[in-house]
Amino acid sequence: MRNCHPIIKILALFTVWFLYLPLMGVAVCSVNSARDGWVWKGFTLDWYVKLFDNEWILNSALNTLILAVVSTAIATVLGTVLAIGISRFPWGRKTNSFLNMMLNIPVVIPDIIMAGSLVVVFGILREVSSMFDMGMIDMIIGHVTFQIAFVALVVRSRLALIGQDVEEAGRDLFASNWYLMRKVMLPLMMPGIVAGAMLAFTLSLDDFVLSFFLSGPDSQTLPLYIYAAVRRGVTPQIHALSTLIVLVTVVLVVGAERLSKKEVA
């Protein structure tokens, strides 16, 4: 930034300010004793206290946590295996290009397209089994479908950083595949795996579109609750809830970024 043109600096600062000013406004409103309007009437944490007394919010938070934890656990395992398979198996050039393209599609495809596609798929599956009725199972599968790609991309970057010299050295010392994976590769990959899991958890925590299309009457999440509540009018409790979600998201994203940049020991 020191060697940048002043106009570029101004544009960068304006962009950051434009992005984060609304979030700062929500955080300020969450500790304002005024129920309505932008008039400051004093600092208070009553809205946070009332937030935890709201049964609807607590149930939505529990659903959100269950959805994020279960989908992240599944996506982390599958994404890690996928990353190892793509990076370490000697695929042909065309096959490797095809796999890379397929891996990036869930990242770039619009959420509304993926959600609509999943609705069609689950509609067909419901003809086979009632297990796929709109609800938590459908939401977990839906979240896993896009989380896998993010986990695999992060783990692949970690594998590229590690390189193959360590594996070759282990095989030269007659290490079996299981021993090499358990004692050598997994410890080295762990920062990437954890970073990918934290990123997947954050994406699940904030997801609205897929959850909106796939949720049932008993599987409302916090983003869905906020959407329904805002349509009836924004209250200080919504400001408090939004602030907490943003704080959790920021902590997870920063943690994932630091882990992904950790140097190989």
Chain segment 73-97, per-residue pLDDT in tens: 999 999 999 998 888 777 788 888 8
5 is a domain residue: no
pLDDT digit string (tens) for 203-224? 998 888 999 998 887 888 888 8
* In a domain? residue 29: no
Is residue 35 a part of any domain in this protein?
A: no
Instruction: Provide the pLDDT confidence category of residue 262 given band limits of 50, 70 and 90.
Output: low
Instruction: Report how far residue 265's alpha carbon sits from residue 20's, in angstroms, rounded to the nearest whole number.
Output: 36
Look at residue 139 in the predicted model and tell me its pLDDT: 92
Length of the chain: 265
The domain that holds 70 is classified in CATH as 1.10.3720.10
pLDDT band at residue 239 under the 50/70/90 scheme = confident
Residue 6 lies in a domain: no
CB 208 within 8 A of CB 224: yes
Six token digits for residue 70: 């279960």
State how many domains the chain has.
Answer: 1
Residue 71 has pLDDT above 90, yes or no: yes
In this predicted structure, what is the pLDDT of residue 264?
42
Cβ(150)–Cβ(181) below 8 Å: no
Residue 192 in domain: yes
Give 28-49 pLDDT, tens digit per residue.
Answer: 888 888 777 677 788 888 888 8
pLDDT tens figures, 133-150: 778 888 999 999 999 999
| pLDDT bracket for residue 3 (50, 70, 90) | low
Record the tokens describing residue 256, joined without a space.
């994932």
pLDDT for residue 133: 77
Let me know if residue 73 belongs to a domain. yes
CA-CA distances (angstroms) from residue 167 to 88, 94, 161, 180, 183?
Answer: 10, 25, 13, 7, 11
Structural domain boundaries, residue 71: 46-260
Q: Which residue has the higher pLDDT, 108 or 129?
A: 108
Q: What is the pLDDT of residues 155-191, one digit of tens each?
A: 988 888 887 777 777 777 777 777 777 777 888 888 8
Find out whether 201 and 253 touch, Cβ atoms under 8 Å: no
Coil vs helix vs strand at 32: strand
| CB of 148 closer than 8 Å to CB of 114 | no
Tokens of 25: 């406004």
The amino acid occupying position 187 is P
Confidence band, pLDDT 50/70/90 cuts, at residue 1: low
Question: 43: which strand partners?
Answer: 32
- DSSP 8-state secondary structure symbol assigned to residue 43: B
How wide is the angle at C-alpha 145 spanned by C-alphas 65 and 122, nearest 5°?
95
pLDDT tens across 6-28, in order?
Answer: 788 788 888 878 878 888 888 88
Distance CA 89, CA 161 (A): 17
Which residues, 6+ apart, have CB-to-CB distance to 143 below 8 Å?
67, 68, 71, 75, 203, 204, 207, 210, 211
- Do residues 244 and 252 make contact, with C-beta atoms less than 8 angstroms apart? no
In a domain, 186, yes or no: yes
In a domain, 178, yes or no: yes
**Does position 235 have pLDDT exceeding 50, yes or no?**
yes
Q: What is the pLDDT of residue 2?
A: 61
- The SS3 call for residue 53 is coil
CA distance 161 to 166: 11
